[in-house]
């Protein structure tokens, strides 16, 4: 089932739910891979102040950035003004708990007072009765006794606290921080949104909106990932083109065949990119890195070899284009069927669903478009390019640099391969012994490399290791078990792991982002 039809099925089932307060469920506008930025709010302030600034200022400012759909906050403490009644004092003053709650509710409200006409203008009147600090709460009158008002501070202890916590975030040696994740709107581009986001963060850090000393510190920025991916793709294409061209020149020994064959690679890659842009598909590092440039030039080499063979064997005075057409006709069917066989092998990748389908479907689509572009180049452009210098190829004059059809390099390999093959057939026991030793060495190397996988993961980015705690586990206990050992926290070289982060928490919902 495709992503669109699956989403429609989920939405249809959500509509059958009966939710309170006339709530209507909708599909979330953010993407599962929409995490583009993480930051930490730092400063010489208490966690209550940091969390309050994040919730009421930073989050609202950053949500105004185009392309940002939401800001998810983790860590910190949510400020509360807590009132703890003393039962003995309540009995002594004859005040009930219901009276205390009613007095607090009635004293914490704004009220409208209609308007006052001043000249030609109407001025709205409003009474501000909301409590602003602990002192306002402590002075609320509950009742009176013998003409003496009974205040909240007479029967209860009023202080600032925080809401019971369900989670905590740590970073390096900081055991309690305020962290936030910026989520990208579904269908938006990452780089423009990141550019506007970093501009807004720089404005907040150097402006006057944030309290003095409070800053937004970057934890993760997808810009680096995009730059590395783009550089890797460019490196793969350029180096692949250069290596294939060099190998073709050394093995074919003909500059014209080499240049025409090598031109297949940029044409096929650009054709694949164009088709993916037209069909709405996106390329990634897996899809581009999986393209085998050697396979892309196979069709052009076969067509060129056959055309050159017909040109070199044509009769003196005959038309060169006739030989080109004959050579193309002889090689068209084998080239077409070989390409179709390769495309058929990708059919299982097109049928994959879920996470494997998301990973391998772009690779198969990119590879299919690239092979189609290489086939079009071999069938249409190769004959045209060959016709540009076909008249220079006489009968038998330029069939090959060497008369036997080999270059110096290919003749060298063929000669030594023949000698080696004869020795292999004459000493089968030695061959089997060498094979066994090689297999054993390969298994040992695999086991050794598998143990060091965590190091490779750290070098490539971040290593995530979720660990579940028993149901109802105390959050303070979970945090102490997750804290890094100061003696071993940074035993990795700084070039391998730059930060160690943890977040023991109980999910408030099922949309948590690790």
Separation CA 37–CA 356 (nearest Å)? 26
Separation CA 389–CA 398 (nearest Å)? 11
Separation CA 153–CA 17 (nearest Å)? 47
Is residue 492 scored above 70 in pLDDT?
A: no
Quote the percentage of the chain above a pLDDT of 70. Answer: 78
Q: What is the pLDDT of residues 78-129, one digit of tens each?
A: 888 888 888 888 888 888 888 888 888 888 777 777 778 888 888 888 877 7
Question: What CATH class does 254-395 carry?
Answer: mainly alpha
When pLDDT is averaged across residues 321-326 and rounded to a whole number, the result is: 83
Predicted local distance difference test score (pLDDT) of residue 437:
92
Sign of CA dihedral 129, 134, 135, 138: positive
Is residue 460 scored above 60 in pLDDT?
A: no
Predicted local distance difference test score (pLDDT) of residue 477:
55
| 249 CA to centre of own chain | 39
Instruction: Assign 3-class secondary structure to 331-360.
Output: HHHHHHHHHHHHHHCCHHHHCCCHHHHHHH
Which three-class secondary structure state does DSSP give residue 286?
helix
Separation CA 154–CA 157 (nearest Å)? 8
Q: What is the dihedral of CA 499, 504, 508, 510, to 10 degrees?
A: 70
Q: What is the pLDDT of residues 217-258, one digit of tens each?
A: 888 888 888 888 788 878 877 887 888 888 878 777 777 778
Predicted local distance difference test score (pLDDT) of residue 101:
87
Predicted local distance difference test score (pLDDT) of residue 401:
45
Specify which residues 79 forms β-bridges with: 162
Architecture of domain 80-115+123-162: 2-Layer Sandwich (3.30)
Is residue 2 scored above 60 in pLDDT?
A: no
Is residue 313 scored above 80 in pLDDT?
A: no
Is residue 30 scored above 80 in pLDDT?
A: no
Question: No. of H helices and E strands in the chain?
Answer: 21, 12
Separation CA 254–CA 401 (nearest Å)? 7
Predicted local distance difference test score (pLDDT) of residue 496:
46
Residue 349 in contact with residue 361, Cβ under 8 Å?
A: yes
Is residue 333 scored above 80 in pLDDT?
A: yes
Predicted local distance difference test score (pLDDT) of residue 459:
45
Specify which residues 174 forms β-bridges with: 171
Q: What is the pLDDT of residues 160-214, one digit of tens each?
A: 888 887 777 887 777 788 888 898 887 778 888 888 999 999 999 888 888 898 8
Residue 185 in contact with residue 69, Cβ under 8 Å?
A: yes
Q: Whole-number mean pLDDT of the chain?
A: 77
Residue given tokens 């780089």 in the structure block: 191
With cut-offs at 50, 70 and 90, classify the pLDDT of residue 290: low
Instruction: Assign 3-class secondary structure to 149-186.
Output: EEEHHHHEEEEEEECCCCECCEECCECCCEEEEEEEEC
When pLDDT is averaged across residues 410-420 and rounded to a whole number, the result is: 82
Is residue 69 scored above 50 in pLDDT?
A: yes
């Amino acid at each position: 089932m495709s992503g669109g039809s699956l989403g429609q099925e989920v939405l249809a089932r959500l509509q059958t739910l009966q939710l309170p307060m006339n709530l209507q469920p909708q599909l979330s506008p953010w993407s599962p891979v929409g995490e583009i930025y993480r930051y930490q709010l730092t400063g010489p302030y208490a966690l209550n102040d940091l969390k309050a600034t994040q919730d009421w200022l930073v989050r609202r400012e950053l949500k105004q950035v185009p392309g940002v759909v939401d800001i998810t906050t983790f860590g910190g403490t949510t400020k509360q003004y807590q009132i703890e009644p003393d039962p003995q004092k309540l009995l002594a003053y004859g005040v009930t708990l219901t009276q205390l709650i009613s007095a607090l509710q009635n004293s914490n409200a704004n009220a409208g007072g209609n308007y006052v006409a001043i000249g030609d203008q109407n001025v709205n009147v409003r009474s501000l009765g909301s409590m602003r600090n602990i002192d306002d709460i402590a002075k609320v009158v509950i009742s009176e006794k013998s003409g003496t008002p009974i205040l909240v501070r007479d029967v209860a202890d009023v202080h600032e606290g925080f809401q019971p916590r369900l989670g905590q975030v740590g970073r390096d040696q900081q055991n309690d921080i305020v962290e936030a994740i910026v989520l990208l709107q579904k269908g938006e581009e990452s780089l423009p949104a990141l550019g506007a986001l970093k501009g807004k963060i720089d404005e907040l850090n150097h402006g006057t909106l944030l309290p003095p000393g409070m800053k937004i510190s970057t934890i993760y920025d997808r810009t680096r990932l995009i730059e590395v991916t783009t550089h890797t793709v460019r490196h793969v294409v350029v180096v692949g083109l250069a290596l294939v061209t060099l190998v073709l020149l050394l093995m074919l020994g003909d500059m014209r065949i080499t240049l025409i064959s090598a031109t297949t690679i940029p044409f096929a890659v650009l054709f694949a990119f164009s088709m993916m842009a037209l069909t709405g598909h996106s390329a990634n590092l897996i899809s581009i890195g999986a393209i085998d440039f050697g396979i892309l030039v196979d069709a052009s080499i076969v067509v060129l070899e056959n055309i050159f063979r017909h040109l070199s064997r044509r009769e003196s005075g005959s038309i060169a284009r006739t030989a080109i057409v004959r050579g193309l006709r002889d090689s068209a069917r084998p080239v077409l069927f070989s390409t179709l066989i390769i495309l058929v092998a990708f059919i299982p990748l097109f049928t994959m669903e879920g996470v494997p389908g998301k990973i391998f479907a772009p690779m198969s689509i990119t590879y299919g478009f690239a092979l189609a572009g290489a086939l079009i180049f071999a069938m249409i452009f190769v004959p045209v390019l060959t016709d540009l210098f076909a008249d220079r190829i006489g009968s038998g004059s330029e069939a090959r640099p060497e008369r036997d059809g080999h270059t110096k390099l290919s003749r060298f390999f063929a000669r030594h391969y023949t000698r080696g093959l004869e020795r292999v057939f004459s000493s089968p026991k030695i061959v089997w012994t060498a094979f066994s030793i090689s297999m054993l060495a390969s298994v040992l190397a695999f086991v050794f490399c598998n143990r060091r996988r965590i190091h490779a993961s750290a070098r490539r980015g971040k290593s995530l290791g979720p660990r579940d705690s028993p149901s109802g586990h105390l959050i303070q206990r979970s945090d102490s078990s997750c804290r890094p050992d100061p003696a071993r926290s940074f035993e990795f070289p700084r070039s391998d792991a730059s930060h160690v982060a943890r977040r023991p928490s109980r999910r408030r919902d099922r949309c948590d982002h690790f």
